[in-house]
């Protein structure tokens, strides 16, 4: 029998997940890093720096995605929606782990503003969950579509020799597209036009900042 958690339990669990996401080692599905058996070509210092900055942006995006899913899972009304959010969050943890390792391997650091990205996204996710499940799922679908477009842009900008980062992003793109499909399948509806535009503007702020910080 599945244990039923109290609201206090949920808050404690979410706090633990937040600390793990921003500062520690998040729980994950345990999938292997898709880049582990690949070898990079020769990259000069400028190419390594570009790759590291792009992967830092992707890591920051995964921190934000974690917060969105966890906020929505906390306030979702349907148990099925809560479980779907938690499952997607677990898969996103794989992305978080892969990106963090790749940034480290490239000799750089993850964004110093990750706590800010997490807090802002958790707040947005919680509000989306309270509005209603169909809108919350629609928000997930739109978020994932924008993430796929963002990954496509990064794949076009990665230095050609950086095969490891490319493999990670390609697997992430596949997973994000699947999450969008699942959200629509479970009742997600298209968002009013101003909302996707606003989401894009907020994403630009995060990506441009995380590129440098």
> Which amino acids are annotated as binding site for Fe cation, given as ranges?
62, 92, 95, 144, 176, 179
CB 70 within 8 A of CB 122: yes
Residue with tokens 């999938």: 31
- Could you count the other beta carbons within 10 Å of the beta carbon of residue 34? 18
Residue ranges at the known binding site: 62, 92, 95, 144, 176, 179
């Amino acid at each position: 029998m599945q244990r039923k958690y109290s609201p206090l339990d949920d808050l404690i669990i979410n706090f633990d997940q937040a600390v793990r996401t921003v500062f520690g080692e998040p729980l994950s599905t345990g999938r292997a890093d898709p880049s582990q058996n690949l070898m990079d070509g020769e990259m000069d210092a400028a190419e390594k720096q570009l790759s590291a900055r792009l992967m830092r942006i992707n890591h920051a995006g995964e921190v934000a995605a974690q917060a969105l899913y966890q906020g929505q899972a906390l306030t979702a009304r349907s148990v099925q929606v809560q479980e779907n959010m938690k499952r997607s969050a677990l898969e996103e943890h794989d992305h978080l782990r892969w990106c963090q390792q790749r940034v480290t391997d490239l000799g750089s650091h993850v964004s110093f503003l990750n706590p800010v990205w997490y807090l802002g996204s958790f707040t947005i996710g919680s509000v989306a969950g309270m509005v209603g499940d169909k809108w919350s799922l629609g928000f997930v679908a739109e978020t994932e579509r924008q993430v796929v477009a963002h990954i496509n842009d990064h794949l076009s900008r990665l230095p050609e020799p950086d095969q490891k980062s490319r493999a990670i992003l390609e697997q992430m793109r596949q997973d994000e597209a699947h999450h969008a499909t699942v959200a629509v399948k479970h009742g997600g509806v298209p968002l009013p036009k101003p909302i996707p535009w606003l989401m894009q503007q907020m994403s630009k702020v995060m990506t441009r900042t995380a590129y440098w910080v």
